[in-house]
Amino acid sequence: MAMPNNTAPCFTCNQNKIPYLCVGCSRKFCILDLAKHRLILNEELNHIAKDYNEFKQKFNEEKLNSNDLALIDQINQWEVDSYEKVKQKAKNCREIVSESSRLKHDIEKKLNDSSEHIEQIQKENEFNETNLNYLTNELIKMKEEVNYLPKVSIEQDYHPFINEISVLSLQISKLKKWKQNAITVAGGNRKGQESNQFNRPTGICIDENKNIFIVDSGNHRVVEWKCNENEGQSIAGGNGEGNRMDQLRYPIDVIVDQKNNSIIIADFHNRRVIQWVNQNQQILIDNINCRGLGMDKHGFLYVSDYKKNEVRRWKTGEYNNEGIIVVGGNGRGNQLNQLNNPSFIFVDEDQSVYVSDCNNHRVVKWRQGAKEGKIVAGGSVNQLSLPEGIVVDDLGQIYVVDGLNHRIMRWCEGKEEGEIVVGGNEKGSRSNQLHGPSNLSFDVEGNLYVADTFNHRIQKFEIVL
């Protein structure tokens, strides 16, 4: 009886042996290479543990040298000193007002006494010139006393008589920076269709292993370029321009779903959104002028339609309907409830949708359920010119491709101006230049990748720690 064939290629040595699965990376190894793989993981763990211990030691040293208690004592003493000054000042002010009140009371008493005296002599008809002279003189005195009464009011002195203090909390800037000279990590071998070349790359996505998924638009394919490799592998399309299920026609954006080993593509000129799963294709949405794709944490799919000037949302697995309009849908225009040729989109944790409103030269944010958007970047051609790819980080900072200005911009929501992150040195092919970039992405370390479209390359700008 033949023995069952339960062998498979080892990921490391590629020899057919009994496979052992590594749950962490989902790769299969022979028993020898699995042991080596575990040794490598163990070394990485030791390195991570060392980094933790070094950081813990540094943190404890800084905590030991902290002067927080001394600062609290200083604040308490300031409070006591200031309170005594305020207390004395209030006492002085009350004495002034009280003295004014006493003088008024004395005049009032004299006036009442004189009035009673006048009533009495009128009633008894007992008076002469002496009485009249006396009353006249008393009235003159009271009028003079009133004229000389102090005019009491509150005057605010905006020059503080106590020493004002503030606690300065100096924080390390949250704004990240990147090296201005990039490394070409994919393409850069002139325009072409070979495995190490691109023809106008647009969409880009980086997985946790730093593998790059690139929409090679002019070659009608999506390419996976593994980290540190010299060429990529076509994983969708690549069968010429066309509308067959195994073909693409100027695709423009891609979403990678590693859990399901699938990719979703905006197949631009075929006017469809198509899913590829291990070389098997399924049209999710047809007859749509798709430009940008997005997916939220619940798995809802968002698609921008550049002709209808709107963004629609579909629930996973329910693509046989028209979806729900979540942005725009009020015709072409520049009002806050309108778009003008929307391109790429981004969906944050709160299901707010950010849209590169291309011909309005702005980025708009629509909160879930909103009837209109809010301009969060650009708004004029002087600030952004034909914005494209967009990413929003956990701090709400907006990174957007400023296409015609050949640069990447960062905008903090609420700010009137953005700042240049990389590029902006005129169009060109030098390491600090871009030429018509389309999209951007970040890896797990925070390095910035740019689809440098008309240089036919992917640029990596390393983060400065």
**pLDDT value at 9 more than 80:** yes
| Band of pLDDT at residue 138, cut at 50, 70 and 90 | confident
What is the rounded average pLDDT of the residues 305-326? 94
pLDDT digit string, tens, across residues 92-114:
888 878 877 887 888 788 788 87
Closest CA to 300 of 266, 252, 349, 267: 349
Instruction: Report the length, in residues, of the chain.
Output: 465
What is the rounded average pLDDT of the residues 229-246? 95
Beta strands in 105-211 (DSSP E): 177-178, 183-187, 201-206
**pLDDT value at 25 more than 80:** no
The letter for the amino acid at 299 is G
Using CA atoms, how far apart are residues 238 and 245, in angstroms rounded to an integer?
Answer: 12
Task: Output the pLDDT for position 330.
Answer: 96
Task: Output the pLDDT for position 419.
Answer: 93
Structure tokens at 5: 């064939």
Q: Please report, rounded to a whole number, the percentage of residues in the chain having pLDDT higher than 90.
A: 54
Using CA atoms, how far apart are residues 295 and 98, in angstroms rounded to an integer?
Answer: 72
Question: How many other C-beta atoms are found inside a 10 Å radius of the C-beta of residue 59?
Answer: 10
The residue ranking higher by pLDDT, 442 or 77, is 442
**pLDDT value at 343 more than 90:** yes
Q: Do 362 and 387 meet the contact criterion of CB atoms below 8 Å apart? A: yes
pLDDT digit string, tens, across residues 357-370:
999 999 999 999 99
Among the ranges 6-10, 173-177, 185-189, which has the highest mean pLDDT value? 185-189
Task: Output the pLDDT for position 2.
Answer: 52
The residue ranking higher by pLDDT, 242 or 11, is 242
Q: Which fold has domain 178-464?
A: Neuraminidase (2.120.10)
Task: Output the pLDDT for position 170.
Answer: 44
**pLDDT value at 172 more than 50:** no
What ranges do the domains of the chain cover? 8-64, 83-168, 178-464
| Band of pLDDT at residue 171, cut at 50, 70 and 90 | very low
Find where tokens 């009633």 sit: 123
The string over 26-57, giving b where at least 16 C-beta atoms fall within 10 Å of a residue's C-beta and e elsewhere, is ebbbbeebbeebeeeeeeeeeeeeeeeeeeee
| Band of pLDDT at residue 41, cut at 50, 70 and 90 | confident
What is the rounded average pLDDT of the residues 434-461? 96
The residue ranking higher by pLDDT, 27 or 453, is 453
The residue ranking higher by pLDDT, 190 or 279, is 190
For 80-89, 231-240, 288-297, 318-327, which range has the lowest pLDDT when averaged over its residues?
Answer: 80-89
pLDDT digit string, tens, across residues 76-92:
888 888 888 888 878 88
The residue ranking higher by pLDDT, 110 or 217, is 217
The mean pLDDT of the chain is: 88
pLDDT digit string, tens, across residues 145-168:
777 777 777 766 645 566 666 655
**pLDDT value at 190 more than 50:** yes
Task: Output the pLDDT for position 132.
Answer: 75
**pLDDT value at 194 more than 90:** yes
The residue ranking higher by pLDDT, 340 or 13, is 340
What is the rounded average pLDDT of the residues 190-203? 96
Task: Output the pLDDT for position 107.
Answer: 78
Task: Output the pLDDT for position 165.
Answer: 66
